[in-house]
Amino acid sequence: MKDTIFSFNEDEVDYLKELINIGHGHCASVIAELLDQFVTLSVPKVELFNDDALKSFFEHIKKIDQFYAIQPFWGSLAGNTLLIIKNKSLTNLRKIFEEDEIEDDDIIMELINIMNASLVSRIAMELNTDVSFDIPTIYSAEMLSESMLPNNQNYTEAILLSTILNFKDIGVEIDMIIFMKDESISWVHNKIKEKIDELLEWN
């Protein structure tokens, strides 16, 4: 039977969410250091999406005026990340970057590079592996077509990470969806089982 994120037991799902929390905290530290801004990230909302939930989610987000950045990652941990940022949040982000004439695409590119390099790479490190990234592609709502979405590239499930970056009094709402390939889901599942067994041996 195909291994899916829905075949994880409760302890394994908790461990997966803890990995995301660790990567999330590292992400906040990296963003604060690189942008030289005090930043906090809200406690991440983590959801597991099956095929039907994914379709409903994408039908919803395509109706909202926002920007999307898609970036593949490779290794034992392989898949795509999809970063979603609303226009209002992008306006707020412009206040953070010092360059007056910085392009929206440059802001989004910088943000997805920071978030992926810190969050996904940290999760990979916790699982004792390495991960590499392709160059992200950015789309506006008008440019985004159904075929460009990762769930139309043989992905039937995903992990949704929703968070809010707070720079002093400026809030930036971000959704990041992590799509994992089937073989990576199996690999992650086995690694989590190993990690849990190691913890049980220590207790």
* CATH number of 74's domain: 3.40.1550.10
Asked whether residue 65 is domain-assigned, the answer is yes
With beta carbons less than 8 A apart as the criterion, state whether 39 and 166 touch.
Answer: yes
| Element of type H or E holding 167 | strand 158-167
Asked whether residue 98 is domain-assigned, the answer is yes
Asked whether residue 76 is domain-assigned, the answer is yes
Q: What is the span of the domain harbouring residue 15?
A: 8-195
The mean pLDDT value for 39-54 works out to: 78
136-195 residue pLDDT tens: 888 776 666 555 555 555 667 778 777 777 776 677 777 888 888 778 888 888 999 999
Asked whether residue 1 is domain-assigned, the answer is no
Q: For the ranges 15-24, 63-72, 107-116, 153-162, which has the lowest average pLDDT?
A: 153-162
- R_g (Cα) of the chain, nearest Å: 17
> What is the per-residue pLDDT for 137?
84
Tell me the backbone φ, ψ of residue 149, rounded to 5 degrees: -75, 140
DSSP for residue 118: I
> What is the per-residue pLDDT for 149?
57
The mean pLDDT value for 74-90 works out to: 84
Asked whether residue 44 is domain-assigned, the answer is yes
- Compare 202 and 96 and report the one with higher pLDDT: 202
What SS3 class is residue 79?
A: strand
Asked whether residue 92 is domain-assigned, the answer is yes
Tell me how many domains the chain contains: 1
Asked whether residue 87 is domain-assigned, the answer is yes
Asked whether residue 200 is domain-assigned, the answer is no
